[in-house]
């Protein structure tokens, strides 16, 4: 099977809710509320990385200049930003693994 972005994104759609379920449970409530309010989950990008024969992804994260953003007052600390950014990366990795298994990528 020839893989492309459309097939990857269709597989991501199939696995999205299941991956989110456990991921949400692992986050602190204040972190989850902030992620959802800012819309970070909407900014994930998944694609077929032909150079490495794998599913690639770009996980959204709070930028380094988060203190100057509109949502800065709701962020408690750098530790919270780091925790959320790591959680976003973990979700991307979880979805990558699920999609690669589903698509038979070795």
Q: Measured between alpha carbons, how far is 35 from 26 in angstroms, rounded to an integer? A: 13
Report pLDDT digits (tens) over 20-64.
998 999 899 999 999 998 899 999 999 999 999 999 999 999 888
Q: Measured between alpha carbons, how far is 57 from 40 in angstroms, rounded to an integer? A: 14
The domain limits of the chain are 5-103
Report pLDDT digits (tens) over 76-105.
888 999 999 999 999 999 999 999 999 999
Q: What is the pTM of this model?
A: 0.90
Q: Return the number of other C-beta atoms located less than 10 Å from residue 86's C-beta.
A: 12
Handedness of CA 10, 33, 27, 58 (dihedral sign): positive
């Amino acid at each position: 099977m020839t893989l492309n972005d459309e097939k990857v994104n269709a597989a991501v759609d199939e696995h999205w809710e299941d991956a989110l379920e456990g991921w949400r449970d692992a986050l602190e409530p204040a972190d989850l509320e902030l992620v959802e309010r800012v819309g970070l989950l909407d900014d994930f990008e998944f694609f077929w990385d032909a150079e490495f024969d794998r599913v690639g992804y770009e996980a959204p994260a709070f930028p380094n200049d988060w203190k100057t953003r509109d949502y800065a007052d709701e962020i408690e600390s750098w530790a919270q930003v780091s925790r959320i950014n790591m959680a976003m990366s973990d979700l991307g990795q979880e979805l990558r693994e699920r999609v690669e298994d589903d698509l038979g990528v070795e």
